[in-house]
Amino acid sequence: MKTALEKEDANFRPINTKFLQGEFQESFDIFYKTEAFGTAKFVKFASASPEHQDKVRKLIEEKEGTEDFFIQADDMMKYYSQATVHLRKMIDDPNLSLKEKTLKIYDVSKDIMKDFFEFNASPKILKSSEQVVELMDECLSSADADFHALFTITSKDYYTYTHSVNVGLYCLGYGVKTKMGSNDIRDLGLGGMLHDVGKTQIDAGILNKNGKLTFEEFEAIKAHAPLGQEILEGMKCHTAHVIEMAGQHHEQ
């Protein structure tokens, strides 16, 4: 049974306030968290009103976003929309290096996948990954794909959600390096990011088990590919190539 603290936490998501820099395209309430005697309380720091959004922007500029802030789970799509607006400006900034741009896009991609895998978010969240993949494609296409640089970015950690972003990033790098068409590069990167979504339907105890899996556990793990295909087919917004990558990435 979930504690009151866990139930309250489930309604809120941590955010990276650096992605709220600049002009706001979306408005949402922002909270900070307090705890007392095992009870969590999320206190509103800024409302969706423009004057309060200015308050958030000023805090970010003065403290470089060091505070931990949260938004309500229902506002995640607005947050990701705002993050991609911020990233678009970075991609267009000639003063930022390719690596700096790729790192920023990588961070947003990780957040999208983390929210899906760790917080049991609706598959609708994954629609945000389409914009991010397009930005990743554009970023990598702006110069020769440097696989050493990609490795330094993707070797930071290896949880399932990070692995998913890593695969997407490597797929994009491969597509750019081999001069594939833009639509194929986009599908390849998106398919790489989403290839393991079926693992959201697998028991976490099996996924995180230390030691050898039993026959039954291994059979359960193997089910994640067709389950991922079902999830993406149900979303009705991905190409056949993306869906096939989820459903067939363990064929060999």
Q: What is the DSSP letter of 13?
A: E
In the chain, what percentage of residues exceed pLDDT 90?
35
Give the type of residue at 136. M
CA–CA separation, 42 vs 112, rounded Å?
22
Coil vs helix vs strand at 211: coil
- Name the pTM for this structure: 0.82
The pLDDT, as a whole number, for residue 18 is 75
The top-scoring range by mean pLDDT among 58-62, 77-81, 237-241 is 237-241
Q: Provide the pLDDT confidence category of residue 65 given band limits of 50, 70 and 90.
A: very low
By residue count, the chain amounts to: 252
Backbone angles phi, psi at 179, to 5 degrees: 60, 45
The shares of helix, strand and coil residues in the chain, as percent rounded to the nearest 5, are: 65, 10, 25
SS3 of residue 172 by DSSP:
helix
Q: What is the mean pLDDT of residues 93-121?
A: 88
- Return phi, psi of residue 159, to 5°: -70, 170
The pLDDT tens digits of the residues spanning 20-35 come to 776 666 788 888 888 8
Whether 157 shows a pLDDT value over 80: the answer reads no
Q: Is the pLDDT of residue 246 over 80?
A: yes
pLDDT digit string, tens, across residues 116-148: 888 877 887 888 899 999 999 988 887 666 778
User: Do residues 68 and 32 make contact, with C-beta atoms less than 8 angstroms apart?
Assistant: yes
